Amino acid sequence: MAVFTKIAVIAARSLVRNTKASTRSEIARSTVRAVGRGTEAIRLPAPEELTRRRDRTLARAASWGFVLCSIVTVLAILGGLALKSRAPWLVATKTSFGVVMLVEGVLLMTDWRGTRRLLLHRIRSRYTAPGQKETLRQSLYWRAARPALGVIGFAWFCLGLLIVGTTLFPKG
C-alpha cells in the first residue's frame, strides 16, 4: 500500500503543476480521499451514455471540431496555410478554417456547457469497452486531459485569430 500511496501522490503533484488554483485544491482533496480508500477510488467510472439530445449534439460537434482543428494545426505547422495566393476559394477556405478554430478554441477554453467533459466522454467511449475497467495510468491520463483541453483551446483560439487576421488583412 505504501508504494501505491507514493505513486498517487507523485501523480497528483504532476497534475497540480499545470492547473488553476481552484482545480488544484479539488484534485488534491480528491486524491487524498482516494488514497485513503485504495486503488478503486482513483479510477474514473466507465463512461455512461449521454441522455440529453443537447449533450449528444454538442459532444458530436466538439468531436468533429476537434478532429478538424487537429488537421488544420498540422497544416499550419507544415506551412500549408501560409500560401500567398489571393484566389477567392483559398481566402474563403482559410477564413472558414480560422473561424472553426476560433469557435472550437472558445468552446474548450470556456468549457461552455461542459464541452470538455462531453468531448472526453466521446473520446473515452471509443477506447473503453462498457464492462472493462481502466488501469490506474489510464484513469490518471483521463483526469489530466480535461485541463489540458483548456490549454489546447487557448492555442487554437490564438491560431484561429492568426489565420483569420493574415487571410483577411494580408498587408496590414
Which of 37-51, 96-110, 156-170 shows the lowest per-residue confidence on average (mean pLDDT)? 37-51
User: Taking the chain, what is the end-to-end CA distance rounded to the nearest angstrom?
Assistant: 62
DSSP 38-61: -HHHHSPPPPPPP-SHHHHHHHHH
Query: Helix, strand, or coil here: 25?
Result: helix
Between CA 89 and CA 105 the distance in angstroms is: 24
Q: Model's pTM, two decimal places?
A: 0.66
Residue 158: pLDDT band (50, 70, 90) is: very high
Residue 33 pLDDT greater than 60, yes or no: yes
Domain spans in the chain, listed from the N-terminal domain onward: 1-42, 54-172
- Number of residues that this document lists for the chain: 172
- For residues 149-168, one letter each, b for 16 or more C-beta atoms within 10 angstroms of the residue's C-beta and e for the rest, the string is bbebbebbbebbeebbeebe
Mean of the pLDDT values across residues 101-113? Answer: 89
Burial of 108 (0-12, 13-18, 19+ CB in 10 A): buried
Mean of the pLDDT values across residues 10-17? Answer: 55
Higher-confidence residue of 152 and 48: namely 152
Residue 1 pLDDT greater than 50, yes or no: no
